[in-house]
């Protein structure tokens, strides 16, 4: 019997299997209830007492070895399966990449352009008071922009007259100019991106919520030429090196002189098309030299300092850049629209 056990030990240790069927045969042959090792345990009952210890130990050793071998073969087979299961030629699962919203893309690009020439970024509250949105910006008390038609009021002291303490949703980011001038000393060079609110019917060209970016530069000897060159630089960075600009006289209470800026139409290169209504030009922003009244209202000496300001709609800039003709698309978040901006950053 000892010989039989030694032979089986040898046999078990030298066995190898190629697949799970062979592994099962191994188990049946050696480890099952009707297997060879069970048979030996059966025979063990008849072994004379004097040999029981030696044979018993050997027999246990054989059982352990067979079990060990079985487990070893099993893990070997599993590892093999894992290796062969991987199909390297299979196409990868598509990654569903998100994209930034076009308004964020253009806002970031504007911030990038202006910070390159020394502008900082500042922000102010969306819920503002009349003082910062209108009064300190030189709006006359009866100015139509303060009207309920345009402004969402949160609390109003009197329905007939506007009051610097009235609380409202800012109608433009020019209010941040005031906050910056009140809190900083010149030189000031800052842009203020943010959301603005106007009580307007929603259409392809107007929305009650939109985004603006405001620019402000205050120092000694800041001139209209500085304004023009800054805006030319910006227009060429955003719309391309060939872009031309033109400044048309305009009116804003907080700037004097004031202007509106057009950029040459990107679609037709200035020749005239549907987008530019055959003028070759597209209006992009309002700007001007900061009115001395505004400087004084913010405690800046208007004899010593001058400055320029500009403000533009980010939706408008994005429309011109991407040729989008309906403002509502920016707010509907239709994936068919948003997906098209995946390649932008």
315 touches ligand DAH (CB under 6 A): no
> What SS3 state is found at 34?
coil
User: Which tokens in the block code for residue 268?
Assistant: 């037709």
- Cβ neighbour number for residue 184 with a 10 Å cutoff: 15
Q: Which stretch binds ligand DAH (CB under 6 A): 187-195, 236-244, 271-279, 306-314?
A: 306-314
287 touches ligand DAH (CB under 6 A): yes
| Contact pattern for ligand DAH over residues 140 through 179, marking x by CB under 6 A | --------------------------------x-x-----
- Pick one of 5, 188, 227, 309: the residue that binds ligand DAH (CB under 6 A): 309
Q: Would you give the distance in Å from CA 21 to the centre of its chain?
A: 55
User: Based on CB atoms, which residue is closest to ligand DAH, 26 or 194?
Assistant: 194
Q: Would you give the distance in Å from CA 49 to the centre of its chain?
A: 82
Q: How far is the CB of 174 from ligand DAH (least distance, A)?
A: 4
30 DSSP 8-state letter = I
| Contact pattern for ligand DAH over residues 173 through 212, marking x by CB under 6 A | -x--------------------------------------
User: Based on CB atoms, which residue is closest to ligand DAH, 73 or 110?
Assistant: 110
- Pick one of 286, 317, 319, 329: the residue that binds ligand DAH (CB under 6 A): 286
User: Based on CB atoms, which residue is closest to ligand DAH, 248 or 271?
Assistant: 248
Pairwise CA distance, residues 193 & 110, whole Å = 9
Report the side by side order of strands in the sheet with 281-290.
120-121, 188-197, 209-219, 306-313, 281-290, 255-264, 245-252
Strands 127-129 and 153-155, bridge-based pairing: unpaired
Q: By the 8 A CB rule, do 218 and 190 touch?
A: no
| Contact pattern for ligand DAH over residues 227 through 256, marking x by CB under 6 A | -------------------------x--x-
Q: Where are the alpha helices (DSSP H) in 220-325?
A: 224-239, 292-297, 314-322
> What SS3 state is found at 49?
helix
Phi, psi of 149 (to 5 degrees): -55, -30
User: Based on CB atoms, which residue is closest to ligand DAH, 122 or 255?
Assistant: 255
310 touches ligand DAH (CB under 6 A): yes
User: Based on CB atoms, which residue is closest to ligand DAH, 37 or 294?
Assistant: 294
Q: Which residue has the tokens 């050696």?
A: 30
> What SS3 state is found at 308?
strand
User: Based on CB atoms, which residue is closest to ligand DAH, 222 or 287?
Assistant: 287
- Using CB under 6 A, list all residues that contact ligand DAH: 172, 174, 214, 252, 255, 286-288, 309-311
């Amino acid at each position: 019997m000892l010989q039989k056990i030694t032979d089986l030990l040898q046999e078990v240790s030298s066995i190898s299997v190629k697949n799970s069927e062979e592994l099962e045969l191994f188990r049946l042959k050696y480890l099952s209830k009707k297997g060879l090792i069970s048979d030996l345990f059966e025979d063990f009952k008849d072994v004379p007492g004097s040999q029981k210890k030696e044979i018993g130990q050997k027999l246990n050793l054989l059982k352990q070895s067979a079990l060990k071998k079985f487990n070893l073969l099993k893990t070997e087979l599993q590892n093999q399966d894992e290796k062969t299961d991987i199909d390297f030629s299979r196409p990868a699962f598509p990654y569903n990449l998100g994209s930034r919203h076009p308004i964020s893309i253009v806002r970031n690009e504007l911030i990038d352009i202006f910070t390159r020439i020394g502008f900082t970024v500042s922000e102010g509250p969306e819920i503002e008071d009349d003082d910062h949105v209108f009064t300190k910006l030189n709006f006359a008390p009866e100015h139509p922009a303060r009207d309920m038609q345009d402004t969402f009021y949160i609390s109003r002291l009197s329905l007939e007259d506007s009051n610097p303490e009235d609380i409202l949703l800012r109608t433009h980011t020019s209010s941040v100019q005031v906050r910056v001038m009140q809190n900083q000393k010149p030189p000031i060079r800052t842009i203020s991106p943010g959301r603005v609110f106007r009580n307007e019917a929603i259409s392809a060209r107007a929305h009650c919520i939109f985004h603006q970016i405001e620019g402000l530069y205050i120092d000694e000897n800041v001139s209209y030429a500085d304004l023009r060159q800054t805006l030319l630089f910006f227009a060429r960075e955003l719309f391309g090196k060939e872009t031309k600009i033109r400044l048309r006289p305009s009116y804003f209470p907080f700037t004097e002189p004031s202007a509106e800026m057009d950029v040459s139409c990107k679609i037709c290169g200035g020749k005239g098309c549907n987008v530019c209504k055959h003028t070759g030009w597209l209006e992009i922003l309002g700007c001007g030299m900061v009115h001395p009244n505004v400087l004084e209202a913010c405690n800046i000496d208007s004899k010593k300092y001058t400055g320029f300001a500009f403000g533009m709609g980010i939706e408008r800039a994005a429309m011109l850049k991407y040729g989008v003709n309906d403002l509502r698309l920016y707010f509907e978040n239709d994936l068919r629209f948003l997906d098209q901006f995946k390649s932008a950053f």
